[in-house]
Amino acid sequence: MGLFSNKASQAPAVPETDPETAYKNTYVPDVDHENNGGIVEYDELHIPCPPHTTEKKLMTKIDFHVVPFLCILYLLAFLDRVNIGNAKSFGLVADLKLTGVQYNTALTMFFIPYIIFEIPSNVLLKKFSPKIWLSGCMFMFGVVGICQGLVQNYSGLLATRFFLGFFESGMFPGCFYLIGMWYKRTESQRRYSFFFSSTTLAGAFGGLLASAIGKMDHMHGLRGWRWIFILEGVLTCVVSLIFFFFIPSFPEDAQWLSAEEREYVKARLRADQGQSAAERTITVRDVGRVFKDYKVIVGGFMYFGMIVVAYGYAFFSPGIISTYGYSPVSTQLHSVPPWACAFGFAMVIAFCSDFTKHRYIFTIIPIGVAIAGLIILLTVHTKPHLEYAALFLVAMGAYSAMPVIVCWFQMNLGGHHRRSVGTAWQVGFGNIGGIIATYAFISTDAPEYKMGYGICLGFLCLAAISCTVYEIACWSANRQRDRSPTNLGLSDYEKTELGDMSPDYRYMI
């Protein structure tokens, strides 16, 4: 049994319309009734499985070919992105003679190309295939990570942070987009959360790794912070070369599936999400049509509010923990438990969300947990143990709500074009919040950091309000479509072009 597998039903009567998505299931492949004891297995959308396998076995096979590789890829990307916070604890600021907000500006430099190239990167991902695009970008940001460990001044640090953002711009939206082209909406959240939680594993792994690498201080004449960048960059480059052969492609191109299996995967996605139009190139007009839907704009604000908190924690938590009186090595070790708890809480939220087939409440609950942590940090300044416990709440809440928000929004976008553009927009616009986060925690505000905690609290409220608006918009659209005639004479091609704007489509709430 696979970790993410769903149970399948046996040979139900095939209804004309699926109750969740209201898509007509027209795909009926040739079925060999001599196999499987004469029983044809159907999934919950009533799509018959290929006779030589079952839905559970096939989804387990897909899980092992898709999820682990993307998780490791993004773990290393996030590690190379935020390890500057670990490096700061080992003397980066003093060695490069950074003053004022120069460290914060270096953090900001990452987000400029990262935001600009989100949408173009997803278009290029589709053009060049995931294994070429993702592994190529991964190798290049590994090289930049190595260069980051060799810089001699502030200008060099700015340059390497810029190119790191440039080559990492396609990782997150590309991986999320790719996962979304393999799984139904009701089974996607735990895969997304498992993937997204690689960021929490990166934080935990980064803290452990930094505590060990930091002991190499002055080895071969290099400071410990340089070794952090160099060794983690080398690791990324090596893994990228191996992953060129293992990063999954889209279902229609997966050679590790048989022809029957590929057709089945595509059919279940068509029944759940509508036609994808994967074969047609994305045009400028496609991009423009996506932004005519106000729900897409709201989706960007949902993620925008969470990013400020997430990056604020990722970049500055080692510095915040150091104000509690720990040594540099002990600071790195104390940074690990909040990340580990965030991973566990994120998976609990994800499984509950998929089990109930609901998203909204599982964004609000984690946001509430993070708000509680920030209120403690804003009001308590003389009890280090309580403040440290509050950091657990912030990490758990922020990194549990974010994957639900992105999954909810992306899986409500029908078709390759709307999903590709919409996902890149949400992540690209949302990451503007990363720029705000880099200036939220200024060294002169230590150790209380009231401004930083207050900014994070405000943006969490923005995220909660945006999620509420999006939930109401989806509910309203579903209700309106339930009351309106769906037989408008639209051809399959026209419905494909409309994606989730088709009158047959129903949004997940």
Taken in order of first residue, the domains within the chain and their CATH numbers are 55-501 (1.20.1250.20)
Helix axes 55-88, 185-196, angle to 10 degrees: 30
* pLDDT-flagged residues of the chain (< 70): 1-46, 272-282, 416, 486-499
> pLDDT value at position 307?
94
> pLDDT value at position 3?
47
**Cα distances (angstroms) measured from residue 311 to each of 68, 196, 364:** 24, 14, 19
Planar angle of CA 352, 353, 357, nearest 5 degrees = 120
Helix axes 294-322, 450-483, angle to 10 degrees: 150
> pLDDT value at position 7?
40
The 10 Å Cβ neighbour count of residue 28 is 10
Beta bridge partners of 17: 24
CA distance 201 to 218: 28
Q: What is the DSSP letter of 105?
A: H
Spatial CB neighbours of 476, under 8 Å, sequence gap ≥ 6:
none
Long-range pairs of 451-454 with CB within 8 A, sequence gap ≥ 24: 452/312, 452/316, 453/374, 453/377, 453/378, 454/378
Contact indicator for 57, 4 with CB cutoff of 8 Å:
no
The 10 Å Cβ neighbour count of residue 347 is 17
Spatial CB neighbours of 104, under 8 Å, sequence gap ≥ 6:
438, 439, 442
